[in-house]
């Protein structure tokens, strides 16, 4: 999403979900960015969830996700801390992902129906509580599902990145988001979108493309003990 697209989206959301004192959209964007940058320096809520017991509590993880959204959009949107609802404008439906980079307004995907969000998020969060695969695989599977479900109108990617970063940190891994964003972003987004397209199709075909995404993801996830050797 370009800066102008982000500005236009937030401007429309402020109109649809106005707080008591609607902010200037440019000031709101700066506030959201500043708040997001502060997330990783505060109390590690995901680490607490893991420390409470061997598996993450699904209810607690859900609370973390909603809490991060509330923190980012407090006093900016009246629906801060809430998933999309069927009673929202346009029945709570949302589209995302440009189908063509030259036609940024043309969306490729539709987030799941608001009525399905609670069940879908339970399934999504349960990915992080499993033990059948390694943490790196669970983290990107969670990320892909969360973004595809698109439970919020905005900041789905940011919230997913925060949860994944905190989760992998506890598991002993570091995500090189800077390299991903600056060097590998187009290739990563292509693999992510390839998975989005196949979520409702044959499982074997989806898994084939997910393995491409996982292979790429491993390029930017590093064990923290390896970083210490550098």
Tell the residue number behind the tokens 């993450």, with chain if given: 56
* pLDDT higher at 67 or 129: 67
Task: Report residue 101's pLDDT band, with 50, 70 and 90 as the boundaries.
Answer: very low
Task: Render the burial of 156-192: b for 16+ CB within 10 Å, e for the rest.
Answer: bebbbbbbbbbbbbbbebbbeeeebeeeeeeebeebb
Instruction: Tell me the HSE value of 78 on the side-chain side, using a 13 A CA sphere.
Output: 12
pLDDT on residue 100: 46
Neighbours of 211 (CB within 10 A): 13
Instruction: Record the tokens describing residue 189, joined without a space.
Output: 């987004």
Helices 25-39 and 156-170, axial angle in degrees (round to 10) = 10
Task: Report the distance separating Cα 66 and Cα 48, nearest Å.
Answer: 16
Task: Report the distance separating Cα 120 and Cα 5, nearest Å.
Answer: 27
Domains within the chain, CATH numbers bracketed: 3-224 (1.10.3290.10)
Tell me the average pLDDT across 98-124. 77
Q: What digits encode the pLDDT tens for the residues 129-176?
A: 777 779 999 999 999 999 999 999 999 999 999 999 988 988 889 999
Using an 8 Å Cβ cutoff, are 191 and 212 in contact? yes
- With helix as H, strand as E and coil as C, how does 147-183 read? HHHCCCCCCHHHHHHHHHHHHHHHCCEEECHHHHHHH
Residue (of 15, 42, 43, 14) closest to 29 by Cα position: 14
- The residues with which 95 forms a beta bridge, in sequence order, are 110
- Taking CA atoms, 72 is separated from 116, 133, 152, 171, in Å, by 24, 32, 12, 25
pLDDT on residue 57: 59
Task: Report residue 226's pLDDT band, with 50, 70 and 90 as the boundaries.
Answer: confident
């Amino acid at each position: 999403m370009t800066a102008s697209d982000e500005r236009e989206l937030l401007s429309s959301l402020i109109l649809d979900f106005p707080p008591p004192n609607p902010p200037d959209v440019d000031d709101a964007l700066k506030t959201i960015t500043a708040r997001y940058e502060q997330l990783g320096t505060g109390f590690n809520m995901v680490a607490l969830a893991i420390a409470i017991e061997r598996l993450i509590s699904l209810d607690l993880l859900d609370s973390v996700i909603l809490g991060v959204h509330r923190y980012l959009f407090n006093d900016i949107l009246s629906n801060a801390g809430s998933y999309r609802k069927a009673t929202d404008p346009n029945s709570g439906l949302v589209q995302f992902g440009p189908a063509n980079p030259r036609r940024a307004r043309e969306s490729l995907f539709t987030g799941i129906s608001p009525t399905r969000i609670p069940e879908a998020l339970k399934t999504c969060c349960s990915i992080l509580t499993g033990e059948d695969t390694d943490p790196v695989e669970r983290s990107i599977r969670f990320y892909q599902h969360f973004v595809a479900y698109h439970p919020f109108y905005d900041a789905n990617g940011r919230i997913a990145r925060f949860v994944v970063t905190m989760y992998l940190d506890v598991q002993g891994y570091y995500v090189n988001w800077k390299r991903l964003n600056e060097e590998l972003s187009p290739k990563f987004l292509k693999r992510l979108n390839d998975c989005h397209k196949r979520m409702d199709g044959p499982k074997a075909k989806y898994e084939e493309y997910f393995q491409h995404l996982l292979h790429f993801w491993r390029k930017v996830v590093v064990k923290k003990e390896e970083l210490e050797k550098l």
